Structure 1
Amino acid sequence: MATYHLPDEPRPGALQSAATDPMWPFLSTMLIGPWFGLAWFVLNGFALGSPTLKREIALIALALGGKAIALLTMFAALEAGWIDKSALPYLYLVAVAVMLSATYGVFMLQARTFELFSHFGGESKNGVVVLMLGIAIVRPTVSPLLGSGLLGLVLR
């Protein structure tokens, strides 16, 4: 039995049947929310046996932490009187851009792994059903529970 593996070779495990194209978690991050999409990215990384899983998780932490820092900075600037309250919706876009940029990095890392996974015969699930159920049922149910505090803003 050969024990040699390429460093970028996916090693799918028990969750292999849940593997999907990383486009679906990326879309769900945008359409449902980071709380759903980023968790799906982690699950997909395990399912694909991603060799870059630690980097993916670090980028997910950067996405959430970067958005939180951007929001805290925005609120501190408002409190200090440096910005007007009418500028908040526009500055919120900066926080969203930070989160989506890091999320796109996760997508790019998983896309390489997914291509190798598919090339070598790995079967993937179509994520459109999960995405549609998430938009129609999960988002309306969970979003109100997140609240309007910092955690709710970061996870929305």
Structure 2
Amino acid sequence: MSAYRILDEPRPSGLNTIVVDPMWPLLATMMVGGGIGLAWLALNAWAVGSPTRIRESLICLGGLVGFMTLFVLLASLDLEQATFRYAFIGVIVVKLAAAYWASSLQQQAVDLYDYFNGRKQNGLVVLMIGAFLLRPMIAAAAKDHGWLYLLVA
């Protein structure tokens, strides 16, 4: 006899001990960097067993590819520094739009997971480690490479 399953119900996974509210990876995208925050969102989608986890992972991957592509395109245009700073806002918008889209898709699955006695972890510690330890280390490593520093900082 098969168990009754609701289509949008999260499927349990072995990673359910690392499930966090999607707000934390979204904040990590803003505070730590696009790559880390979007990767955390994709991992969280698989951990919670979201029915839209493939779509969420593709959105995160598309956000990273779009972010990098737009950045390389802007860097190749040889813009003045003031113009580049305004144009760079578009790069940030692509990163944040992808993170917000994936986060909003994931929120319903996490709410269902929480409702059916799933335990969410607090992502504040991971966010603070990323913001105050990881980001400065990455930025310091990329400081000698001008465009790479802008990409990660």
TM-score, shorter chain, exceeding 0.5: yes
1:68 equivalent in structure 2: 68
2:120 equivalent in structure 1: 124
**For the residues of structure 2 that align with 1:106 and 1:125, how far apart are their CA atoms?**
19
**For the residues of structure 2 that align with 1:151 and 1:54, how far apart are their CA atoms?**
29
Q: CA contact under 8 A between 1:28 and 1:131: conserved in structure 2? A: yes
Q: How far off is 1:75 after superposition?
A: 2.6
Note if 1:98 corresponds to 2:86. no
Q: Taking structure 1 as reference, are residues 56 and 118 closer, same or farther at Cα in structure 2, changes over 3 Å only? A: same
Corresponding residue to 1:136 among 119, 126, 132:
132
What runs of 5+ residues in structure 1 fail to find an aligned partner? none
- Higher alpha-carbon deviation: 3-12 or 124-133: 3-12
What runs of 5+ residues in structure 2 fail to find an aligned partner? none
Q: How far off is 1:97 after superposition?
A: 0.4
Alignment of 1:7-156 (within 5 A): 7-78=7-78, 83-146=79-142, 148=145, 153-156=150-153
- TM-score calculated relative to the size of structure 1: 0.86
Q: How far off is 1:146 after superposition?
A: 4.6
RMSD of equivalent CA atoms: 2.0
- Count of residues in correspondence between the two structures: 152
**For the residues of structure 2 that align with 1:6 and 1:30, how far apart are their CA atoms?**
34
Q: CA contact under 8 A between 2:75 and 2:147: conserved in structure 1? A: no
Percent of aligned positions with the same letter in both sequences? 36
What secondary structure is seen at the aligned counterpart in 2 of 1:117? helix
Q: How far off is 1:16 after superposition?
A: 0.6
**For the residues of structure 2 that align with 1:132 and 1:65, how far apart are their CA atoms?**
26
**For the residues of structure 1 that align with 2:59 and 2:148, how far apart are their CA atoms?**
18
Q: Any idea what the Cα deviations from partners look like across 1:120-149, whole Å, max 9, x if unmatched?
A: 111101111111122222222233335637
- TM-score calculated relative to the size of structure 2: 0.87
**For the residues of structure 1 that align with 2:117 and 2:76, how far apart are their CA atoms?**
51
